[in-house]
Structure 1
Amino acid sequence: MKNKDRILIVEDDPDLSELIRLYLERDGFDAVKIDRGLQAVAECQKENSPDLILLDIMLPDCNGIEVCGRIRQHSNVPIVFISSRQEADVMIRGLEEGGDDYVLKPFHPNVLVAKVKALLRRVHGPLTEQLEFEHIKYDYKKAELLVNGEAIPLYTKERQMLEFFLRNPHQIFHVEELYQAIWGWDSLSDIGTVMVYISHLRRKIEADPSKPRFIVTVRGFGYKFVLPPPK
């Protein structure tokens, strides 16, 4: 019986593929590195096929988009393109060929891992529909936040930020990582928006926003969400 999701990294930059592998395995995934597109097609035809593929486009033996098309002939495995190609037509073609997401290089490994988790949750289904701790209750399905039993309205980005933190507790994220994960680098906003929304969330969930217990600043590094242990 398989206990870990198996992630196939198809990337010909050995330093980058090793970095991705380390971050994935730190979060409990079984990560496998290869550097050829045709090998990825073959891996998907094996009994122990991957649960998700991180696929570069510019590979030594073939184009990653073509690889995606071949895989889609016999597999619905989630595929995330990781590429420095920023042209809109390339991104569109990749998604039309069956890609589930497209992540531009350079990217923060923590954000890539969070995207992998989010995509696998959609495939496997959420582990829980509700999360409750201390005076806070959040319903993922309804996107409903209750604080001391009172419904607290959330704007879209506030909800996305809260869910990102709740899905990745106790993990430190730089401001740039949060910005990329929630807004994306093609947004018209700037990274200062992150601090604004953190302030908004603190006012909504913290008993004393000036002394936050949940959304904690890690000086010199960024922010993390401290999720209390279950009672």
Structure 2
Amino acid sequence: MNYQDKTILIVEDEPALASVLCEYFIQSGFQTHIIDNGLEVIDWVKNYQPDLLILDLMLPGRNGLDIYRELRTFSQVPVVMATARIDEIDRLLGLELGADDYICKPYSPREVVIRVKNILRRSKEGNGTLQGYAGLQIDEQKMMASLNQQTIILTPAEFRLLSVFNKHPEQVFSREQLMTQIYSDGRIVTDRTIDSHIKNLRKKMQDVAPESECIKSIYGIGYKLTL
């Protein structure tokens, strides 16, 4: 994949850390921009539409949690959320934010770049529109989904899950299988992460089709799409 047309927005108020991370992305062919104040993020994203955000949780002006929630009201840009405390990652997963990845400081800039490349690569996989199961349509090139002709606003992780289910309706997937499908870089992901994504995806689908169970839990095994 050519990354020269990809812009990474680094939202980080530690100048040294932001500078090092920026340099690693530039060496990998990316364009970058750094913002160190939470109040500036939303307007910049609206004006310049970056391809991915590295979003620190603790920022002057406005915290990353609030920024992420507002982002999701108008954009599905991938977000990697950064925190200085590993227990914060558990809290964020408990809040079911659905960010594409979480990293804990101090982190390896090289590893962050690899994770970002994997996220962007997954975002571009596939092309064309898949005629969905029972009114579900998925455009993998545009990363858009609709159910009963109503658009469903999904995070990239939720979209990848739905795409997997859509290709294999009624097939039961274990959590481990789903982890492999949406996180192909071999990272360690807990069952709780998958459960959080599933819960969010199920709610969004039921908002459109309340009469349907949509994604069914199979006790002791995993999940399947059953519209």
- TM-score range, shorter-chain basis? 0.5 to 0.7
Q: 1:2-17 to 2 correspondence within 5 Å? A: 3-17=4-18
Match in the other structure for 1:27:
28
Query: Structure 2 regions of 5+ residues with no counterpart?
Result: 127-176, 191-227
Distance across 1 between alignment mates of 2:12 and 2:106? 13
After TM superposition, list the pairs within 5 Å mapping 1:166-185 onto structure 2.
182-183=187-188
Give the conservation status (yes or no) of the 8 Å contact 1:55–1:81: yes
Query: Percent identity between the aligned chains?
Result: 35
3-state SS in 2 of match to 1:15: helix
When residues 59 and 102 of structure 1 are mapped into structure 2, their CA distance, relative to the original with a 3 A threshold, is: same
2:116 maps to amino acid: V
Alignment match, 2:223: none
TM-score, normalisation: structure 2: 0.53
Please tell me the residue identity of whatever aligns with 2:28.
D
C-alpha change, 1:120 and 1:36, in structure 2 (3 Å) is same
Measured against aligned partners, the alpha-carbon deviations of 1:159-205 in whole angstroms (never above 9, x if no partner) come to: 9xxx86xxxxxxxxxxxxxxxx7458x9xxxxxxxxxxxxxxxxxxx
1:101 has 2:107 as partner? no
The answer for the alignment partner of 2:117 in structure 1 is 117
Higher-RCO chain (CA-CA 8 Å, sequence separation at least 6): 2
Aligned-pair RMSD on alpha carbons?
A: 2.8
What residue in structure 1 maps to residue 55 of structure 2? 55
1:65 matched residue in structure 2: 65
Contact 1:12/1:36 (CA < 8 Å) preserved in 2?
yes
User: 1:36–1:59: 8 Å Cα contact kept in structure 2?
Assistant: yes
- Matched residues in 2 for 1:77 and 1:183: separation? 23
Closer, same or farther: CA 44–92 of 1 in aligned 2, 3 Å: same
Contact 1:72 1:98 survives alignment (8 Å): no
Q: 1:93 to 1:56 in 2, by over 3 A?
A: farther
In structure 2, what is the Cα distance between the partners aligned to 1:93 and 1:183? 17
Query: For the Cα contact (< 8 Å) 1:65–1:93, is it kept in 2?
Result: no
So what's the TM-score if we normalise by structure 1? 0.52
Judged with a 3 Å threshold, the aligned counterparts in structure 2 of structure 1 residues 37 and 110 are, in CA distance, closer, same or farther, namely same
Q: 1:72 to 1:55 in 2, by over 3 A?
A: same
Could you tell me how far apart the structure 1 residues matched to 2:45 and 2:97 are? 16
Total equivalences in the alignment:
134
SS in 1 for 2:32: strand
Q: CA deviation at 1:122?
A: 1.2
Report the Cα offset of residue 93 of structure 1.
Answer: 4.9
1:90 partner amino acid: R
What's the CA shift for 1:123?
Answer: 1.1
2:9 & 2:94 partners in 1: Cα distance? 21
**Which structure has the larger Rg over C-alpha atoms?**
1
Report the 3-state secondary structure (helix = DSSP H, G, I; strand = E; otherwise coil) of the residue aligned with 1:44: helix
